[in-house]
Structure 1
């Protein structure tokens, strides 16, 4: 296992902000409501949070080209056909130093 984590050291990857750089207050609040969650469950919750926030943001996004929303799944925008686009966060894997 140690060898595998050393092999990953320095690898750059993309993922949703809720996984790469979680909001500590939000993590604490979610932890008080639900037991510790897998990454898959966190991703599903992030999608739901973004869907909820887009309900209010979409009308403004439609009339203001280039307007973005910082969501839990990434930076959200819409294209000319009102299709939601998402830009993920980037991170670098680091091994724990002893």
Structure 2
């Protein structure tokens, strides 16, 4: 996973593959943003530097992208849970036994 840095000379390119984007990745990226922001405002006196306004906009954009990725991931996981629940309900309703559960899984059914 490649999340942009908010450093002084950072470029604005990100490479995000949602297929392999996990909640842990999102938490890690959020943690990186928080650490960078804390490091910037840690001193006794905060002095505005050239480029701070641009960094703020990029930070806001990154946070929005992380929130969006989290929503997409949540939707994907909910769809998977729905498939699993439908499979369990189907097995229960048909009276199949545990052995049939072991030979057939919800991922076998596409739809």
For normalisation by structure 1, the TM-score amounts to 0.31
The structure that is strand-richer by fraction is 1
Larger relative contact order, structure 1 or 2 (CA cutoff 8 Å, min sep 6) = 1
For normalisation by structure 2, the TM-score amounts to 0.28
